[in-house]
Structure 1
Amino acid sequence: MKENDIYSELSSIRNLMERSTKFISLSGLSGILAGVYALIGAYIGYKLVYTENSGLLFRDFYVNDPMVWWPLFLVAAVVLVLSVATGIWLTIRQAQKKGENFWNPVSRRLLASLAIPLVTGGLFILILIIRGHYGIIASSCLVFYGLALVAASQFTFSDVKWLGFCEILLGLLAALLPGYGIVFWVIGFGVLHIVYGSVMHFKYNQ
Protein backbone atom coordinates (compact mmCIF):
# COMPACT_ATOMS: atom_id res chain seq x y z
CA MET A 1 0.00 0.00 0.00
CA LYS A 2 1.34 3.41 -0.96
CA GLU A 3 2.13 6.02 1.68
CA ASN A 4 -0.56 8.38 0.35
CA ASP A 5 -3.13 5.59 0.58
CA ILE A 6 -2.15 4.94 4.19
CA TYR A 7 -2.56 8.60 5.10
CA SER A 8 -5.92 8.71 3.32
CA GLU A 9 -7.09 5.61 5.18
CA LEU A 10 -5.96 7.00 8.53
CA SER A 11 -7.69 10.31 7.80
CA SER A 12 -10.93 8.48 6.97
CA ILE A 13 -10.74 6.49 10.21
CA ARG A 14 -10.08 9.64 12.21
CA ASN A 15 -13.03 11.45 10.61
CA LEU A 16 -15.28 8.48 11.29
CA MET A 17 -14.25 8.37 14.95
CA GLU A 18 -14.73 12.13 15.27
CA ARG A 19 -18.23 11.95 13.80
CA SER A 20 -19.16 9.19 16.26
CA THR A 21 -18.00 11.11 19.34
CA LYS A 22 -18.39 14.79 18.43
CA PHE A 23 -21.13 16.88 16.88
CA ILE A 24 -19.33 18.83 14.15
CA SER A 25 -22.22 20.54 12.39
CA LEU A 26 -22.43 23.66 14.53
CA SER A 27 -22.93 26.75 12.38
CA GLY A 28 -20.56 29.67 12.83
CA LEU A 29 -23.06 31.98 11.18
CA SER A 30 -25.56 31.28 13.96
CA GLY A 31 -23.02 32.56 16.49
CA ILE A 32 -22.55 35.76 14.49
CA LEU A 33 -26.30 36.37 14.27
CA ALA A 34 -26.76 35.58 17.98
CA GLY A 35 -24.16 38.25 18.73
CA VAL A 36 -25.96 40.76 16.52
CA TYR A 37 -29.28 39.98 18.23
CA ALA A 38 -27.61 40.45 21.62
CA LEU A 39 -26.16 43.84 20.63
CA ILE A 40 -29.54 45.05 19.42
CA GLY A 41 -31.22 43.75 22.58
CA ALA A 42 -28.57 45.39 24.78
CA TYR A 43 -29.10 48.72 23.05
CA ILE A 44 -32.86 48.51 23.60
CA GLY A 45 -32.28 47.45 27.21
CA TYR A 46 -29.94 50.39 27.76
CA LYS A 47 -32.58 52.78 26.48
CA LEU A 48 -35.15 51.23 28.82
CA VAL A 49 -32.99 51.30 31.95
CA TYR A 50 -30.85 54.41 31.66
CA THR A 51 -31.94 57.99 31.23
CA GLU A 52 -30.38 60.42 28.79
CA ASN A 53 -27.81 61.80 31.25
CA SER A 54 -27.35 58.86 33.63
CA GLY A 55 -24.51 57.23 31.71
CA LEU A 56 -23.96 53.73 33.10
CA LEU A 57 -24.82 54.47 36.73
CA PHE A 58 -26.24 51.41 38.49
CA ARG A 59 -30.01 51.45 38.92
CA ASP A 60 -30.66 48.87 41.62
CA PHE A 61 -34.40 49.54 41.58
CA TYR A 62 -35.30 49.00 37.95
CA VAL A 63 -36.12 45.29 38.32
CA ASN A 64 -38.97 46.19 40.66
CA ASP A 65 -40.36 48.72 38.21
CA PRO A 66 -43.03 46.98 36.07
CA MET A 67 -42.67 49.71 33.45
CA VAL A 68 -39.07 48.58 32.96
CA TRP A 69 -39.09 44.94 34.02
CA TRP A 70 -41.66 43.62 31.54
CA PRO A 71 -40.18 45.38 28.49
CA LEU A 72 -36.75 44.07 29.52
CA PHE A 73 -38.13 40.56 29.92
CA LEU A 74 -39.77 40.81 26.49
CA VAL A 75 -36.56 42.01 24.86
CA ALA A 76 -34.56 39.19 26.49
CA ALA A 77 -37.18 36.60 25.43
CA VAL A 78 -37.17 37.81 21.81
CA VAL A 79 -33.35 37.74 21.67
CA LEU A 80 -33.31 34.23 23.17
CA VAL A 81 -35.99 32.88 20.80
CA LEU A 82 -34.32 34.42 17.74
CA SER A 83 -30.89 33.09 18.76
CA VAL A 84 -32.15 29.55 19.46
CA ALA A 85 -34.34 29.40 16.35
CA THR A 86 -31.53 30.72 14.13
CA GLY A 87 -29.02 28.33 15.71
CA ILE A 88 -31.26 25.28 15.19
CA TRP A 89 -32.14 26.21 11.62
CA LEU A 90 -28.56 26.91 10.51
CA THR A 91 -27.17 23.88 12.35
CA ILE A 92 -29.71 21.58 10.72
CA ARG A 93 -28.81 23.07 7.35
CA GLN A 94 -25.11 22.58 8.08
CA ALA A 95 -25.72 18.96 9.10
CA GLN A 96 -27.63 18.31 5.88
CA LYS A 97 -24.76 19.72 3.83
CA LYS A 98 -22.40 17.27 5.55
CA GLY A 99 -24.83 14.39 5.14
CA GLU A 100 -25.31 14.03 8.90
CA ASN A 101 -28.34 13.43 11.06
CA PHE A 102 -28.95 16.47 13.27
CA TRP A 103 -30.68 14.48 16.02
CA ASN A 104 -28.32 11.68 17.03
CA PRO A 105 -26.83 10.28 20.27
CA VAL A 106 -23.95 12.78 20.20
CA SER A 107 -26.18 15.84 19.73
CA ARG A 108 -28.44 14.58 22.53
CA ARG A 109 -25.46 14.28 24.88
CA LEU A 110 -24.33 17.76 23.83
CA LEU A 111 -27.75 19.25 24.61
CA ALA A 112 -27.88 17.43 27.96
CA SER A 113 -24.47 18.84 28.91
CA LEU A 114 -25.67 22.33 27.96
CA ALA A 115 -29.00 22.00 29.74
CA ILE A 116 -27.77 21.10 33.23
CA PRO A 117 -25.71 24.29 33.86
CA LEU A 118 -28.22 26.48 31.96
CA VAL A 119 -31.26 25.24 33.90
CA THR A 120 -29.34 25.47 37.17
CA GLY A 121 -28.23 28.99 36.29
CA GLY A 122 -31.75 30.03 35.31
CA LEU A 123 -33.15 28.85 38.64
CA PHE A 124 -30.29 30.55 40.51
CA ILE A 125 -31.00 33.83 38.71
CA LEU A 126 -34.69 33.58 39.61
CA ILE A 127 -33.65 33.21 43.25
CA LEU A 128 -31.42 36.29 42.92
CA ILE A 129 -34.35 38.27 41.53
CA ILE A 130 -36.67 37.09 44.31
CA ARG A 131 -34.07 37.96 46.96
CA GLY A 132 -33.33 41.32 45.37
CA HIS A 133 -29.66 40.67 44.54
CA TYR A 134 -29.82 42.42 41.19
CA GLY A 135 -26.17 43.45 41.03
CA ILE A 136 -24.84 39.99 40.17
CA ILE A 137 -27.56 38.84 37.74
CA ALA A 138 -25.50 39.76 34.67
CA SER A 139 -22.48 38.06 36.22
CA SER A 140 -24.45 34.90 36.93
CA CYS A 141 -25.78 34.74 33.37
CA LEU A 142 -22.26 34.90 31.95
CA VAL A 143 -20.74 32.44 34.43
CA PHE A 144 -23.41 29.75 34.05
CA TYR A 145 -23.46 30.18 30.28
CA GLY A 146 -19.69 29.76 30.23
CA LEU A 147 -19.92 26.63 32.39
CA ALA A 148 -22.53 25.22 29.99
CA LEU A 149 -20.23 25.81 27.01
CA VAL A 150 -17.26 24.18 28.74
CA ALA A 151 -19.40 21.16 29.68
CA ALA A 152 -20.76 20.79 26.13
CA SER A 153 -17.37 21.28 24.45
CA GLN A 154 -16.43 17.64 25.04
CA PHE A 155 -19.04 16.71 22.43
CA THR A 156 -18.16 19.29 19.77
CA PHE A 157 -15.34 21.60 18.63
CA SER A 158 -12.75 22.55 21.26
CA ASP A 159 -13.22 26.21 20.26
CA VAL A 160 -16.48 26.16 22.24
CA LYS A 161 -14.50 25.48 25.41
CA TRP A 162 -12.39 28.63 24.97
CA LEU A 163 -15.49 30.70 24.40
CA GLY A 164 -16.83 29.25 27.64
CA PHE A 165 -13.67 30.20 29.55
CA CYS A 166 -13.93 33.77 28.25
CA GLU A 167 -17.58 33.98 29.33
CA ILE A 168 -16.71 32.75 32.83
CA LEU A 169 -13.89 35.28 33.14
CA LEU A 170 -16.18 38.10 32.02
CA GLY A 171 -18.81 36.95 34.51
CA LEU A 172 -16.34 37.10 37.38
CA LEU A 173 -15.24 40.58 36.31
CA ALA A 174 -18.90 41.63 36.12
CA ALA A 175 -19.34 40.48 39.73
CA LEU A 176 -16.54 42.84 40.74
CA LEU A 177 -18.16 45.73 38.85
CA PRO A 178 -21.93 45.20 39.24
CA GLY A 179 -22.83 48.62 37.93
CA TYR A 180 -21.47 47.77 34.51
CA GLY A 181 -23.34 44.54 33.87
CA ILE A 182 -24.70 45.77 30.57
CA VAL A 183 -21.15 46.40 29.32
CA PHE A 184 -20.11 42.83 30.12
CA TRP A 185 -23.29 41.52 28.53
CA VAL A 186 -22.45 43.38 25.33
CA ILE A 187 -18.93 41.95 25.34
CA GLY A 188 -19.90 38.41 26.36
CA PHE A 189 -23.10 37.78 24.46
CA GLY A 190 -22.51 40.26 21.63
CA VAL A 191 -18.87 40.81 20.71
CA LEU A 192 -17.53 37.38 21.74
CA HIS A 193 -20.31 35.58 19.87
CA ILE A 194 -19.55 37.53 16.71
CA VAL A 195 -15.81 36.83 17.01
CA TYR A 196 -16.40 33.16 17.86
CA GLY A 197 -18.95 32.72 15.07
CA SER A 198 -16.60 34.32 12.54
CA VAL A 199 -13.73 32.00 13.55
CA MET A 200 -16.01 28.95 13.39
CA HIS A 201 -17.44 29.94 10.02
CA PHE A 202 -14.11 30.45 8.28
CA LYS A 203 -12.43 27.53 10.07
CA TYR A 204 -15.06 24.82 9.70
CA ASN A 205 -18.00 25.95 7.55
CA GLN A 206 -16.23 26.78 4.31
Structure 2
Amino acid sequence: MDQKHQEDLAHIRSMMERSSRFISLSGLSGVFAGLSALIGGLYVYQLFKANGLDYFDGDHKLYSASLVSELVWIALLILVFAFTFGIFFTIRKSKKYNLPIWTSATKKMLLNLAIPLLSGGIFCLALLYHHLYVLVAPVTLIFYGLALVNAEKYTFSDVKYLGYCELVLGFISLFYLGYGLIFWIIGFGILHILYGLVMFKKYK
Protein backbone atom coordinates (compact mmCIF):
# COMPACT_ATOMS: atom_id res chain seq x y z
CA MET A 1 0.00 0.00 0.00
CA ASP A 2 2.82 2.37 0.90
CA GLN A 3 4.48 1.68 -2.44
CA LYS A 4 1.23 2.46 -4.27
CA HIS A 5 0.90 5.74 -2.37
CA GLN A 6 4.46 6.65 -3.25
CA GLU A 7 3.78 5.92 -6.92
CA ASP A 8 0.62 8.03 -6.80
CA LEU A 9 2.48 10.90 -5.18
CA ALA A 10 5.24 10.65 -7.79
CA HIS A 11 2.62 10.73 -10.55
CA ILE A 12 0.90 13.77 -9.01
CA ARG A 13 4.24 15.52 -8.61
CA SER A 14 5.07 14.79 -12.26
CA MET A 15 1.71 16.20 -13.40
CA MET A 16 2.22 19.35 -11.34
CA GLU A 17 5.70 19.76 -12.81
CA ARG A 18 4.33 19.46 -16.35
CA SER A 19 1.57 21.98 -15.72
CA SER A 20 3.68 24.61 -13.92
CA ARG A 21 6.93 24.44 -15.90
CA PHE A 22 7.92 24.47 -19.54
CA ILE A 23 9.86 21.20 -19.83
CA SER A 24 9.92 20.74 -23.61
CA LEU A 25 13.13 22.74 -23.88
CA SER A 26 15.83 20.59 -25.49
CA GLY A 27 19.52 20.67 -24.66
CA LEU A 28 20.25 20.45 -28.37
CA SER A 29 18.69 23.90 -28.76
CA GLY A 30 21.45 25.29 -26.56
CA VAL A 31 24.15 23.38 -28.45
CA PHE A 32 23.10 24.65 -31.87
CA ALA A 33 22.45 28.18 -30.59
CA GLY A 34 25.98 28.13 -29.19
CA LEU A 35 27.41 26.87 -32.46
CA SER A 36 25.59 29.66 -34.32
CA ALA A 37 27.05 32.27 -31.97
CA LEU A 38 30.51 30.71 -32.16
CA ILE A 39 30.53 30.73 -35.96
CA GLY A 40 29.10 34.24 -36.02
CA GLY A 41 31.69 35.52 -33.54
CA LEU A 42 34.57 34.03 -35.51
CA TYR A 43 33.15 35.53 -38.70
CA VAL A 44 33.05 38.96 -37.02
CA TYR A 45 36.71 38.57 -36.02
CA GLN A 46 37.61 37.84 -39.65
CA LEU A 47 35.49 40.82 -40.69
CA PHE A 48 37.52 43.06 -38.41
CA LYS A 49 40.72 41.80 -40.01
CA ALA A 50 39.32 42.39 -43.48
CA ASN A 51 38.59 46.00 -42.48
CA GLY A 52 42.13 46.51 -41.22
CA LEU A 53 41.21 46.35 -37.51
CA ASP A 54 43.60 44.42 -35.27
CA TYR A 55 41.25 43.28 -32.51
CA PHE A 56 44.02 42.47 -30.03
CA ASP A 57 46.12 45.63 -30.40
CA GLY A 58 44.55 47.18 -27.31
CA ASP A 59 43.63 50.44 -29.05
CA HIS A 60 40.17 51.95 -29.03
CA LYS A 61 38.66 51.17 -32.41
CA LEU A 62 36.63 53.39 -34.68
CA TYR A 63 33.91 51.61 -36.62
CA SER A 64 32.46 52.90 -39.86
CA ALA A 65 28.69 53.15 -40.24
CA SER A 66 28.71 50.37 -42.85
CA LEU A 67 30.66 48.04 -40.53
CA VAL A 68 28.30 48.73 -37.62
CA SER A 69 25.33 48.04 -39.89
CA GLU A 70 26.87 44.74 -40.99
CA LEU A 71 27.56 43.74 -37.37
CA VAL A 72 23.92 44.41 -36.47
CA TRP A 73 22.72 42.25 -39.35
CA ILE A 74 25.09 39.45 -38.31
CA ALA A 75 23.74 39.62 -34.75
CA LEU A 76 20.15 39.44 -36.03
CA LEU A 77 21.03 36.49 -38.27
CA ILE A 78 22.56 34.64 -35.31
CA LEU A 79 19.40 35.36 -33.31
CA VAL A 80 17.21 33.98 -36.11
CA PHE A 81 19.29 30.80 -36.36
CA ALA A 82 19.25 30.29 -32.57
CA PHE A 83 15.49 30.89 -32.41
CA THR A 84 14.85 28.51 -35.33
CA PHE A 85 16.93 25.75 -33.76
CA GLY A 86 15.13 26.31 -30.46
CA ILE A 87 11.71 25.90 -32.05
CA PHE A 88 12.77 22.87 -34.09
CA PHE A 89 14.28 20.88 -31.21
CA THR A 90 11.49 21.89 -28.82
CA ILE A 91 8.83 20.60 -31.21
CA ARG A 92 10.83 17.42 -31.81
CA LYS A 93 11.18 16.73 -28.09
CA SER A 94 7.51 17.51 -27.45
CA LYS A 95 6.40 15.01 -30.10
CA LYS A 96 8.85 12.38 -28.89
CA TYR A 97 7.69 12.52 -25.26
CA ASN A 98 4.10 13.60 -25.97
CA LEU A 99 4.55 16.88 -24.09
CA PRO A 100 2.33 19.96 -24.60
CA ILE A 101 4.12 23.02 -25.98
CA TRP A 102 1.78 26.00 -25.71
CA THR A 103 0.70 25.98 -22.06
CA SER A 104 0.23 28.63 -19.39
CA ALA A 105 3.77 27.81 -18.20
CA THR A 106 5.10 28.47 -21.71
CA LYS A 107 3.38 31.86 -21.84
CA LYS A 108 4.69 32.84 -18.40
CA MET A 109 8.22 31.71 -19.26
CA LEU A 110 8.23 33.68 -22.53
CA LEU A 111 6.88 36.78 -20.78
CA ASN A 112 9.51 36.61 -18.04
CA LEU A 113 12.16 36.03 -20.70
CA ALA A 114 10.92 38.79 -23.00
CA ILE A 115 10.81 41.70 -20.53
CA PRO A 116 14.58 41.79 -19.77
CA LEU A 117 15.44 40.92 -23.39
CA LEU A 118 13.33 43.73 -24.84
CA SER A 119 14.69 46.15 -22.24
CA GLY A 120 18.24 45.12 -23.12
CA GLY A 121 17.47 45.40 -26.83
CA ILE A 122 16.22 48.97 -26.46
CA PHE A 123 19.24 49.81 -24.29
CA CYS A 124 21.56 48.42 -26.99
CA LEU A 125 19.81 50.49 -29.67
CA ALA A 126 20.44 53.58 -27.54
CA LEU A 127 24.12 52.61 -27.20
CA LEU A 128 24.40 52.23 -30.97
CA TYR A 129 22.63 55.55 -31.51
CA HIS A 130 25.14 57.29 -29.23
CA HIS A 131 28.09 55.39 -30.79
CA LEU A 132 28.91 53.63 -27.50
CA TYR A 133 29.70 50.39 -29.31
CA VAL A 134 32.17 49.19 -26.69
CA LEU A 135 29.33 48.65 -24.19
CA VAL A 136 27.06 46.58 -26.44
CA ALA A 137 28.65 43.18 -25.73
CA PRO A 138 28.63 43.55 -21.92
CA VAL A 139 25.04 44.83 -21.97
CA THR A 140 23.78 41.92 -24.10
CA LEU A 141 25.41 39.42 -21.72
CA ILE A 142 24.01 41.12 -18.63
CA PHE A 143 20.43 41.47 -19.86
CA TYR A 144 20.45 37.93 -21.28
CA GLY A 145 21.63 36.62 -17.92
CA LEU A 146 18.85 38.54 -16.17
CA ALA A 147 16.31 37.11 -18.62
CA LEU A 148 17.40 33.53 -17.92
CA VAL A 149 17.32 33.99 -14.15
CA ASN A 150 13.92 35.67 -14.43
CA ALA A 151 12.46 32.85 -16.58
CA GLU A 152 13.90 30.00 -14.49
CA LYS A 153 10.83 29.67 -12.28
CA TYR A 154 8.79 28.47 -15.28
CA THR A 155 11.25 26.00 -16.83
CA PHE A 156 14.20 23.82 -15.80
CA SER A 157 15.88 25.24 -12.70
CA ASP A 158 19.28 24.59 -14.35
CA VAL A 159 18.67 27.59 -16.60
CA LYS A 160 19.48 29.96 -13.76
CA TYR A 161 23.06 28.68 -13.58
CA LEU A 162 23.61 29.63 -17.21
CA GLY A 163 22.07 32.99 -16.36
CA TYR A 164 24.47 33.53 -13.47
CA CYS A 165 27.44 32.70 -15.70
CA GLU A 166 26.24 35.18 -18.34
CA LEU A 167 25.87 37.86 -15.68
CA VAL A 168 29.37 37.27 -14.30
CA LEU A 169 30.87 37.39 -17.80
CA GLY A 170 28.98 40.60 -18.56
CA PHE A 171 30.16 42.27 -15.36
CA ILE A 172 33.78 41.23 -15.96
CA SER A 173 33.67 42.47 -19.55
CA LEU A 174 32.66 45.94 -18.28
CA PHE A 175 36.20 46.23 -16.92
CA TYR A 176 37.81 45.01 -20.14
CA LEU A 177 36.15 47.26 -22.67
CA GLY A 178 37.33 46.62 -26.19
CA TYR A 179 37.43 42.86 -25.73
CA GLY A 180 33.67 42.36 -25.70
CA LEU A 181 33.76 40.03 -28.70
CA ILE A 182 35.82 37.50 -26.72
CA PHE A 183 33.39 37.57 -23.79
CA TRP A 184 30.46 37.45 -26.22
CA ILE A 185 31.84 34.32 -27.91
CA ILE A 186 32.42 32.68 -24.52
CA GLY A 187 28.98 33.61 -23.19
CA PHE A 188 26.74 33.00 -26.18
CA GLY A 189 28.91 30.38 -27.87
CA ILE A 190 30.95 28.18 -25.55
CA LEU A 191 28.71 28.41 -22.46
CA HIS A 192 25.61 27.62 -24.53
CA ILE A 193 27.27 24.55 -26.02
CA LEU A 194 28.41 23.27 -22.61
CA TYR A 195 25.03 24.00 -21.04
CA GLY A 196 23.19 22.32 -23.91
CA LEU A 197 25.31 19.18 -23.65
CA VAL A 198 24.72 18.95 -19.89
CA MET A 199 20.97 19.47 -20.30
CA PHE A 200 20.76 16.95 -23.15
CA LYS A 201 22.54 14.30 -21.08
CA LYS A 202 20.50 15.07 -17.95
CA TYR A 203 17.02 15.28 -19.51
CA LYS A 204 17.25 13.18 -22.67
TM class, shorter-chain normalised?
Answer: over 0.9
Counting only pairs closer than 5 Å after superposition, residues 46-195 of structure 1 correspond to structure 2 as 46-50=45-49, 54-57=54-57, 58-62=59-63, 64-66=64-66, 68-195=67-194
Q: TM-score, normalised by structure 2?
A: 0.94
Residues 50-59 or 35-44, more deviating: 50-59
Partners of 2:127 and 2:75 lie apart in 1 by 17
Corresponding residue number in structure 1 for 2:17: 18
Q: What is the rounded CA distance, in whole Å, between the counterparts of 1:73 and 1:118 in structure 2?
A: 16
Deviation at 1:131?
1.3
Q: Which amino acid aligns with 1:5?
A: K
Deviation at 1:47, TM superposition (A): 1.1
For 1:55-91, what per-residue CA distance to the aligned partner results, in whole angstroms no more than 9, with x for missing partners? 42355321x331x223222221221111101101111
Deviations 1:120-159 (A, max 9, x none): 0000011111112121110000000000000100000111
Alignment partners' CA distance in 2, 1:180 and 1:16: 46
Say which is worse superposed, 95-104 or 177-186, in terms of deviation. Answer: 95-104
Q: Which moved more, 1:98-107 or 1:52-61?
A: 52-61
Structure 2's unaligned 5+ residue stretches are none
Moved over 6 A (4+): none
Contact 2:138/2:174, CA 8 A, preserved across alignment: yes
- 1:153 aligned partner, one-letter code: E
Asked whether the equivalents of residues 135 and 175 of structure 1 are also in contact (C-alpha less than 8 Å), the reply is no
Unmatched tracts of structure 1, length 5 or more = none
**How high is the sequence identity, in percent, across the aligned residues?**
44
Q: Does 1:199 align with 2:198?
A: yes
- Taking only aligned residues, the RMSD between alpha carbons, in angstroms, comes to 1.5
Structure 2: distance between partners of 1:143 and 1:113: 15
Counterpart secondary structure, 2:156:
coil
CA distance in 1, matches of 2:3, 2:133: 61
Paired residue total: 202
